[in-house]
Chains A and B, each alone.
Chain A
Amino acid sequence: MKKNLGILGIFLVVCVVASVFGQNFLTGYNLMNLTQRTSLFAIISLGAGLVIVTGGIDLSIGSVVCLAGITTPWLLVEHGWSPWVVIPLVLAGSALIGLFHGVLITRLRLQPFLVTLCGLLLYRGIARWMTSDQSQGFQGEFAGVRSIALAKFPIPLVENYQIPATVIPLVVLAIVIGVFLHRTVWGRWLLATGRNESAARYSGVPTAWLITMAYVACSLLSGFGGMLFIFDIGSAQPSDFGNFYELYAIAAAVLGGCSLRGGEASVFGIILGAATLQVLRTAIILLGLSSQLEFAVIGAVLLIGVTADELVRRFSVRRIERKQT
């Protein structure tokens, strides 16, 4: 929990600034919107976190979001398939993409950066070719299926704010992944693999299998997230849907305390990281800043956060060492 203090601080500062200077920040509608977007981005950020724990990276998240998100209405509307077939199919396809990455990385020993960079280009291209670059949407139908992402649950005695349905999968996933990482043998092994893959292998840890599963989980969460995104927004363009989402996911994970060197992760931190990025995006609009500045502001905050984190880490390491010697 101690290592989440940094990101918690940044999150609170950004929230305070946004609510003091942006008059509509603390409205129920805005907060509801923020919760919805945070949940969606946190889900794909958790996937990114699992891969980053192994010391790897997944740059294909945005493209998998796009491919899964575009395929869902394409199959439902254009081809008239049943949701009972489409949803499992899209999820299985996403998992297969992750398996493909994992096998290339662990068996052929290709670099994760390269494999997933190629994935980024590949899945985006497939999505655009498959749909002839046409916008895909539900055209007002499938309200039942879309309610997975659109339903809102009222809280007794609270007006203007209802809990978006996407919070449910996020909470479930956060608990499952948190328990997995910190309470199970596999989580222990995954963290060990990230800290020193070679030493883990010498200790009899099935490192190749664990790393492969991390990529499977990441792509599966990206595909699941892609589906929720499209249920939420209703229609999307294959050429820009999910663009840069991998960077939001990686940024959230890093802000949330994942080291790109591997072996460090905090589920709570990742969710806070995703929330911080969404609050920032909203704040830029509410503060009347040009939305063209969005990337610059996010980049600057990320840089400040990571620098501060590194300085604090060095300071505390030195203090621990002084205490122990």
Chain B
Amino acid sequence: MTNTHQELLRCSGLGRRYAGVPALSGIDLSIRGGEVLAIVGENGAGKSTLLKMLSGVIAPSDGDISVADADGVLRAVQLSSVRDATRAGIALVHQELNLAENLDIAGSIFLGREPARFGFLDLHSMQASARGWLARVGLDLDPTTPCGALAIAQRQLVEVAKALSCNARILILDEPTSSLSAREADRMLEIMSELRAQGKAVVFVSHHLDEVLRIADRVIVLRDGHCTGVLERGAYDRDSIERLMVGRSIEPTEQRAARDSASVRLRVSGLTSAHRRAHPVSFVVKTGEIVGLAGLVGAGRTEVLEAIAAITPHGGQVHLDDVELRGNTAARVRRGVAIVPEDRARNGIFAASHVAMNMSLAWVDQNSRVRTVDTSAERGVVGKLMERMQLRPAEPDRLLHTLSGGNQQKSVIGRWIAVSPALLLLDEPTRGVDVAARAEIHAEIRRLADSGTSVLFASSDLEEVLMLADRVIVMHEGSIAGEFTVQEVDEVAIMHLATGGAPTGSRTQTAARGKEHRRGTKL
């Protein structure tokens, strides 16, 4: 066993570029045995990129990684595959668990390196040794239990046992508690402390700062692909971490006129999504107002948007202009609801079709004579839309998948412009979009709102939320944690609520859940 606090891994100048654009750069880091290291940052700060490089999933573009050998001497290594990382004693426990559901516990722990005698599986020794590894993570389960029958928390621990059985000295956990209940999460943190006591290095990513504060010996804060601070235990608190995570000042954008007097366009009361256990949420969006849904990945923003558009079945009521929205997505689109999905490739575009077809799909029925498509009129409208969205190149016959991400996104948003929707729902409106296209998309959203469309958008990018929204609704774990006008809030306050911090100060008091519930029952 390694002696405690021995340096197990060191990386210097580590960076990764995608198509020339740096996702992460200049990371200097050392990982020691017997410590728990937390990596925190906003969505898109580069956390997953760092984890993937450390565990051999992707190769770094710059910098080097050294790993301690058996004598404790650091040697430079190339981690060009997960196999390399495993050999170097590094194991990644995935956020999306990758246990084979149909295998039993022993089978999945030893998947790919099954003990065999003359080519036959040695089931007996496999199960005996699986039992030993399970004990190390405090699981008292029969190794022949199929993995499909395990609870998520148990599966996660089986993954940890699997990592330990590979002789891992460095365990990397990607959001280990994100899908666990509070009690299971406590248990997971205990196991992490036990592993620390055994001399392992435990590296984990978490969006829950409470957990980080409880367990981490050191915290690395990432922002926009850079390391903004490495804090030792005792030298950090919630406030300092939040500041390092957010840390940039926002240029105040041109203020839009207040919408206080406008009529209520969208009224959501007691909304629950059938796809996810969540608390009912209630809120309103006024005519011409832009409301941003802030929160972390998994906070329930997408679920709210998809429930309103009936992409997923929902409970509770949604009223548009005081008439209840019913029926499927097609029926709601006809009432003036428009939705731009988060996963553009899967839910937004018709990659192998031309731009014109992509952009006309939402209104081609309104523009038709006796249900036949008037192709020349269609081309005319598409041409105007492309010009308005500054979609380049301006060729309606081009196949959509040959466009850049930003232009693809413009085509999906542009699809709705000719409809003049009453309510535009956008999920991550500028994900994977370059800066210029982002500004154009923002400008277009504002133009639509000025012409009376109500906009509700979800974004993980706090900068975008504050630039675009008139009002911000912060979600945390499926419920509304706060609601503010954009003037009374900043990134730190949003991050505080989004990571599960208690509402503090008079500012949040007025916007906290109590008001939300009163509003919900009154309406």
Residues of chain A having any CB pair with chain B under 8 Å: 179, 183-186, 188-189, 192, 195-196, 198-209, 263, 320-321, 324-325
Contact = CB atoms under 8 A, between A and B. Distances in A.
B373 A202 contact: no
A225 B498 CA distance: 62
B328 A203 contact: no
B117 interface: no
Given A183-B373, A188-B373, A192-B361, A202 B399 contact: no
Nearest to A198: B347
B350 A199 contact: yes
Interface residues of B, number: 33
A189 B361 CA distance: 7
Given A183-B372, A201-B311, A324-B398, A188 B357 contact: yes
B361 A205 contact: yes
A22 B135 CA distance: 78
Interface in B371-387: 371-373
Contacts of A208: 328
A324 B362 CA distance: 26
A184 B398 CA distance: 22
A188 B350 CA distance: 12
Which 8 A/B pairs are nearest by Cβ-Cβ distance?
Answer: A204-B333, A206-B330, A185-B365, A324-B402, A198-B347, A203-B361, A195-B350, A183-B372
13 contacts: A184-B373, A188-B357, A189-B361, A195-B350, A198-B347, A201-B330, A202-B329, A202-B340, A202-B347, A204-B334, A205-B330, A263-B350, A321-B402
Given A185-B372, A192-B350, A263-B352, 15 more contacts: A184-B372, A185-B364, A185-B371, A192-B361, A196-B347, A196-B350, A196-B351, A199-B341, A199-B346, A200-B350, A203-B361, A208-B328, A321-B402, A324-B398, A324-B399
B399 A320 contact: yes
A205 B350 CA distance: 13
B415 interface: yes
Contacts of B357: 188, 192
B353 interface: yes
B368 interface: yes
Interface string B327-366: 0111011100011110000111111110001000110110
A179 B402 CA distance: 29
A202 B372 CA distance: 22
B347 A199 contact: yes
Interface of B: 309, 311, 328-330, 332-334, 338-341, 346-353, 357, 361-362, 364-365, 368, 371-373, 398-399, 402, 415
A152 to B, nearest CB: 35
Secondary structure of the A contact surface, majority rule:
helix
Contacts of A200: 350, 361
B400 to A, nearest CB: 10
Nearest to B344: A199
A300 B201 CA distance: 60
A198 B348 CA distance: 8
B353 A195 contact: yes
Q: Which of B334, B361, B399 has the most CB of A within 10 A?
A: B361
B371 A186 contact: yes
Given A195-B353, A263-B352, A188 B399 contact: no
B371 A188 contact: no
B372 to A, nearest CB: 5
A203 B353 contact: no
B521 to A, nearest CB: 32
Contacts of A203: 333, 361-362, 415
Contacts of B333: 203-204
Nearest to A264: B352
Contacts of B338: 204
Contacts of A196: 346-347, 349-351
Contacts of B328: 206, 208
A188 B362 CA distance: 11
Contacts of B398: 324
A211 to B, nearest CB: 12
B348 A202 contact: yes
Nearest to B348: A199
Contacts of A185: 364-365, 368, 371-373
B352 A195 contact: yes
A320 B330 CA distance: 34
B513 to A, nearest CB: 31
A206 B332 CA distance: 11
Contacts of B415: 203
A109 to B, nearest CB: 13
Contacts of B348: 199, 202
Contacts of A205: 330, 361
Contacts of A192: 350, 353, 357, 361
Contacts of B351: 196
A196 B330 CA distance: 15
Contacts of A184: 368, 371-373
Contacts of B341: 199, 202
Contact of A204 (B329, B347, B353, B371): B329
A179 B371 CA distance: 11
Nearest to A206: B330
A185 B330 CA distance: 14
B352 A204 contact: no
Q: Which of A188, A199, A263 has the most CB of B within 10 A?
A: A199
Contacts of B339: 202
A307 B488 CA distance: 63
Contacts of B311: 201-202
Nearest to B310: A201
B482 to A, nearest CB: 29
Given A188-B361, A192-B357, A201 B373 contact: no
Contacts of A324: 398-399, 402
A201 B372 contact: no
B346 A198 contact: yes
A321 B402 CA distance: 7
Nearest to A183: B372
A263 B354 CA distance: 13
